[in-house]
Amino acid sequence: MRLGYISLPGRGASDLFLAQVVEALTGRLRLCGTVQTNTARVDRRKCDMDLRLLSSGEVLRISEDRGVYARGCTLDTSVLAQAAAATEAALQGSELLIVNKFGKTEAEGGGFSPVIGEAICLGMPVLLGVNALNLPAFEAFADGMAEALPADLAYVTDWCLRAGLRDAA
């Protein structure tokens, strides 16, 4: 069982790190999953959040524009569900699942949590980002099977290659 996660402090730090991991792995492993890009807007408190599907390259806007004074979560859960369904469909034929975030939706049993579970059942290695707020829920979900990985690009890339290529052999 290979379930690894990174948990980096700072808004968007895990997203940027996972994007670097994906770049390092592109062409070396068949990837599925998502990486997130956050784009700040001068006219809004909240940033725009986009997910890139690793299997197709498609980019989905997962944030709703709720106006200038919006507070709280702006996640569009229907688009998140669309991204999760596309990722689940891409599991077969992939060697590694990368999920940008085990967030509140996953902590509640939705979002990508069923896809992560399916990948685990298939014996596919999984790498994901977890923020400190959702770490207790993730640890309960992982039930002792997860490995905390250091914020070291070479180490995480090597971990992914060893885990993914072992299954591909």
Question: Alpha-carbon distance 21 to 23, whole Å?
Answer: 5
Q: Which two tokens stand for residue 7?
A: 């948990």
> 148 CB contacts (<8 Å, ≥6 apart)?
4, 5, 6, 7
SS3 77: helix
Q: What is the pLDDT of residue 4?
A: 97
> 77 CB contacts (<8 Å, ≥6 apart)?
105, 110, 111
Domains present along the chain, CATH in parentheses? 3-32+77-168 (3.40.50)
Q: What is the pLDDT of residue 19?
A: 96
Residue identified by tokens 């807007």 is 41
Question: Alpha-carbon distance 136 to 116, whole Å?
Answer: 17
Phi, psi at residue 8, to the nearest 5°? -105, 140
Q: What is the pLDDT of residue 51?
A: 93
CA separation, residue 75 to residues 28, 48, 101, 121, 162 (Å):
32, 10, 13, 28, 34
Question: DSSP for 45-63?
Answer: SSPEEEEEETTT--EEE-B
pLDDT along the chain (169 residues), means of 10: 91 93 96 87 70 94 68 72 95 95 93 96 95 95 95 96 72
> 22 CB contacts (<8 Å, ≥6 apart)?
31, 35, 54, 98
Give the global pTM.
Answer: 0.89
Phi, psi at residue 24, to the nearest 5°? -70, -25
